[in-house]
Every structure is written in structure tokens, then in C-alpha cells.
Amino acid sequence: MAGLCAVLAICAIVITAAITYRFITPAPPSALTPFGVSALPVPVGCSLDYVTADGDRLIVQIGGGEECRRVLIADMRTGALLGQFQFPHQ
């Protein structure tokens, strides 16, 4: 009976240590895979006003003229264009 209690106590200690270790040392972030060249649709005659990164999103503000005003949002992991906001003159 004492042997069984000792085995259960050791198992409890090992499980508690493993859980504590995972909380203290989190898993490293996954490596980004290269995606080559990704073309974002910037119309001719327009200029990049502002570019920033937020998490794994790339945010590009385009200006230059009324037909140019837009914000592009791309995924930096895949290079894909997720969407865009246009600001047409009303």
C-alpha cells in the first residue's frame, strides 16, 4: 500500500512539474515561411503615405489623388491581400 502511494505521489509531482514548466517557458513562435514577392495593387500615379505592421498584418495607406485614397491590409505570413478600404469622393 505504501508503494502505491509513493508511485501516485511521484506521478503527481511529475505532472505538476510539467505543467509549471510549460507555463514558465512558453513554446517558441512558429517560423514564418517565405512567400516570395507579393504585389499589392497600388494604382499608377499614387503614392505610399504610410506603412505599418500590426501583429501579422501589414497596413499600407495610399494617397496622391481622389482615386488613390485607400488602405490596404495584407497578411505578412502569406503575402496575400486580405482587403482594402477605399475612400471615394462623395
Q: Where are the beta strands (DSSP E) in the chain?
A: 47-54, 57-63, 70-75, 81-86
Contact 59, 43 (CB under 8 A): no
Any idea what the Cα angle at residue 41 is, between residues 40 and 42, rounded to 5°?
105
64, with CB counted inside 10 A (0-12, 13-18, 19+), is middle
Cell match 507579393: residue?
Answer: 38
Give 48-75 pLDDT, tens digit per residue: 999 999 888 999 999 887 788 899 999 8
Give 15-52 pLDDT, tens digit per residue: 999 988 888 887 777 776 777 777 888 888 888 999 99
What integer pLDDT is reported at residue 15 of this predicted model?
94
